[in-house]
Structure 1
């Protein structure tokens, strides 16, 4: 009989992000590594920083050994529910709204032109004084 695996959402896994209760998601599986935090060779902060996101890439980049991969199976508590991944809501912007936002950008650019001009001007003066002394 196959072992039934519990499904967790990324939001559920992200809620477990403390030293006492730490879950990480790697390769579609959810691991409760709370008991392993003190023993992790990279330190507990590495595992704590992996909560709330898919940490597969970080795990693979670290070059974990075969024995580390076997050890992590001991901490597996379920799988990530891929069907519950939030699809970002598209924001519909009218042409008028787009034009208004581009006008705001132009206005901000006009208001803050002084800083780059001052930096360039100061650079020219310093360069001129430097080469004049030579």
Structure 2
């Protein structure tokens, strides 16, 4: 009887990206490497940086040994569902939202131009006062 393989979307795999719950995708397979993070010779940061994307290139570039590749099989929990979109659909913002962002940006510009101008003005006054005393 064939073994049923669980399929995971990239979005689902990318949600497991912490030291307490870490999945990586390599060569179309999904691995739960949470229990291996402390034992990974390169440190857990290297593995955590590879979550949320297909880490095949990073894995191959690191030059893993044959025994490392065999060890990986212990952590395989399924395969990547290639029928699911890799990138979630982008939401297109409305003109009203864009105008709101533009308005917020203009407010920030209006607020923060005053600080450098005030510093320049105070410096000019202090400079004039200093020159008057001489």
TM superposition score category, shorter chain reference = 0.5 to 0.7
Secondary structure of 2:50's partner? coil
1:44 corresponds to: 44
Structure 2 unaligned runs (5+)? 93-134
Secondary structure of 2:25's partner? strand
2:14 corresponds to: 14
Measured on the aligned residues, the alpha-carbon RMSD in Å equals 1.5
Counterpart Cα distance in 2 of 1:65 and 1:86: 29
2:113 corresponds to: none
- Summarize the Cα distance change of 1:66–1:86 in structure 2 as closer, same or farther, 3 Å threshold: closer
Structure-1-length-normalised TM-score:
0.64
How is 1:73-112 mapped onto 2 (pairs within 5 angstroms)?
Answer: 73-86=73-86
The runs of at least 4 consecutive aligned structure 1 residues that moved more than 6 Å come to none
Count of paired positions: 90
Secondary structure of 2:18's partner? coil
1:66 corresponds to: 66
TM-superposed deviation, 1:2:
1.7
Structure-2-length-normalised TM-score:
0.64
2:9 and 2:86 in contact (8 A); partners too: no
Counterpart Cα distance in 2 of 1:52 and 1:41: 21
